[in-house]
Amino acid sequence: MATPSSPSTPLFPLLLLLLLLFVVVSSSLSSSASLSDTFLQCLVNHTRTLQQQQEPFQILHSPTNLSFPTLLQSLVRNRRFNTSSTPKPQLILTPSHPSHVQSTVLCARRTGTELRIRSGGHDFEGTSYVARAPFLILDMFNFRSIDVDVKQETAWVGSGATLGELYYRIWEKSGLYGFNAGVCPTIGVGGHLSAGGYGNMLRKFGLASDNVVDAQIVDVEGRVLDRSSMGEDLFWAIRGGGGASFGVILGYRVKLVPVPKVVTVFRVGRTIEENATELVYQWQNIAPRTDNDLFMRLLLQPVSSKRQKGAKTVNASVLALFLGNADRLVSMVNEEFPLLGLRKEDCAEMSWIESVLWWGDFDSGTAVDALLDRMPKSVNFLKRKSDYVRIPMSREELELLWDKLIELGKVGFVFNPYGGKMWEIPASDTPFPHRAGNLFKIQHSISWNEDGIEVELSNLAKIRELYNFMTPYVSKNPRRAFLNYRDLDIGITDNGENSYKEGSVYGVKYFAENFNRLVKVKTAVDPQNFFRNEQSIPPFPRSSLAMSQYSGSTDTARKVTVLVILFLFLKDLMTIYS
């Protein structure tokens, strides 16, 4: 071996290099081309053991299937993640039976592919259907059975059901009950309930996740577990900690909440030219402390002034749901919040289910079965951010804020009052920590309709500028955020070696003191971090030795090995020819 490559055979090393490159490239090509086959084979293998009712090929969709793009796009709810450059999944799985979910989890682990779980697709950052590493989508839309038990005052709801379907099925059984979840009826149960969804009855009944009494989940070993077999720690985690870090949630059992025969809604607004500053100033103290039957959401938007042509102003609108009749509401509001000037003619009395349509922005008179429509009326490009406020802003600070809103021109705010039940539930009862002392939550919101990267960048810059502007007025150390308003700006992880450190950054913002308990649960149920995304709960750090068993790292290890060989080889070449 004294002269491995004598100058008389200069082509030899080059050929070897080419051969090596060829092996690397072709192996990665063939592995992606055959993923569909391998996966199918794996599903077929599991079919035998699990005795599935449906043939595996019916639940597996590869990019060559004509239905693939339609299926992929059918649950995209943010157009920013519906472009040609958005990373696409290698396969979409559409299970319709728990055993399909079990085998999908086991086969995804076997093939070392990342799995993204999608229920309603409303994630603001698309984490349920977009990933940077090669990935599969497990689409839960077939899991939408809803079983309402009025006697027990509970309902079983599949994770792929929408909130609208849940509200409709409850109403169909009894007009005396409802459920306290989100306002937009096309939201999916799986993402919403697992991350602590809220709606316009939160001051009376808390979050949707506060009313979960049982759940079914497929864990990383492919087992189907319910509350008693998963144990209280995991059951605690999937009521606010986000499902995607822990397993595939098949469904939840929720406690129905009583609603009166007649509820009342109103929407009244004022611009800053009409004393909105004073209105908003007072709202901050009144809305979180009024009767628990009353929820008064505040919307702040830059609008064109009606008084001064061409001028901009800010409109403050109060949107309310009251669990009672209009007479009681008007006298109550006029006593506590006379500045609002609420009149009976501003109010509309209706049944609770009609109020769901009103809040969902349906035209008045729309039939209730519109709630069964899973397609939203429109889908925009959007970005959302969140904040929590404990100290009311002063009138002077509000004036500065109006200037900023007018300057930016496009960003709006939704202020959601807390108080009531939200302040009574201890912060450690569920992973959702934003309880006593939080006056209201802010949603920063920007939406647009024009394609293109320039408009996207300019709008993202605007909402980020407003977020920075708000720093002095909102929660600090850390600045808190709401998991269901997912915002990748507050930190992400690539689920590598530093995942615990990276996870702590966004983790304490979403979960405060509950973060470490979530990490403990994660470490116990999924130590290899199979269930992961950009903002999942990391397991506690492991030694580098354990890293070699890390699922999905074999591919990386192979690449690193090849690179090291190439490097040594090139170094060798250099010395020979220098």
Ligand X SMILES: *[C@@H]1O[C@H](CO)[C@@H](O)[C@H](O)[C@H]1NC(C)=O
Ligand Y SMILES: Cc1cc2nc3c(=O)[nH]c(=O)nc-3n(C[C@H](O)[C@H](O)[C@H](O)COP(=O)(O)OP(=O)(O)OC[C@H]3O[C@@H](n4cnc5c(N)ncnc54)[C@H](O)[C@@H]3O)c2cc1C
- Residues in contact with ligand X by the rule CB under 6 A: 38, 41-42, 45, 57-58, 61, 64-65, 67, 73, 76, 79, 82, 267-269, 271, 275, 278, 303, 306, 315, 317, 339, 379
SS3 at position 309:
coil
Beta strands in 201-287 (DSSP E): 212-218, 224-226, 248-255, 257-258, 263-271
42 binds, among ligand X, ligand Y, none (CB under 5 to 8 A by kind): ligand X
β-bridge pairing 312-322 and 381-389: unpaired
Q: Which is nearer to ligand X, 27 or 73 (CB)?
A: 73
315 binds, among ligand Y, ligand X, none (CB under 5 to 8 A by kind): ligand X
Site residues (CB under 6 A) for ligand Y? Answer: 77, 116-124, 127-128, 140, 159, 182-184, 187-188, 190-192, 194-195, 197-199, 242-244, 248-249, 484, 533
Q: How far is the CB of 425 from ligand X (least distance, A)?
A: 32
Q: Where are the alpha helices (DSSP H) in 51-187?
A: 68-73, 98-111, 163-173
**Annotated catalytic residue within 168, 177, 418, 485:** 485
What sign for the dihedral angle of Cα 357, 254, 240, 245?
Answer: negative
117 binds, among ligand X, ligand Y, none (CB under 5 to 8 A by kind): ligand Y
Q: How far is the CB of 526 from ligand Y (least distance, A)?
A: 12
Q: How far is the CB of 447 from ligand X (least distance, A)?
A: 13
Element (H, E) at 405: helix 395-408
Q: Which is nearer to ligand X, 50 or 566 (CB)?
A: 50
What single-letter DSSP state applies at residue 540? P
Q: How far is the CB of 91 from ligand X (least distance, A)?
A: 10
169 binds, among ligand Y, ligand X, none (CB under 5 to 8 A by kind): none
Q: Is 320 exposed, middle or buried (0-12, 13-18, 19+ CB in 10 A)?
A: buried
Edge-to-edge strands, sheet with 154-158: 146-149, 154-158, 248-255, 212-218, 224-226
128 binds, among ligand Y, ligand X, none (CB under 5 to 8 A by kind): ligand Y
Report whether 185 contacts 200 (CB < 8 A).
no
The Cβ-side half-sphere exposure at 267, using a 13 Å CA radius, reads 9
Q: How far is the CB of 258 from ligand Y (least distance, A)?
A: 21
Alpha carbon distance 178, 181 (integer Å): 9
Alpha carbon distance 394, 396 (integer Å): 5
Alpha carbon distance 210, 192 (integer Å): 12
Q: Which is nearer to ligand X, 128 or 315 (CB)?
A: 315
194 binds, among ligand Y, ligand X, none (CB under 5 to 8 A by kind): ligand Y
Q: Is 485 a catalytic residue?
A: yes
Q: How far is the CB of 396 from ligand Y (least distance, A)?
A: 31
Catalytic residue list: 485
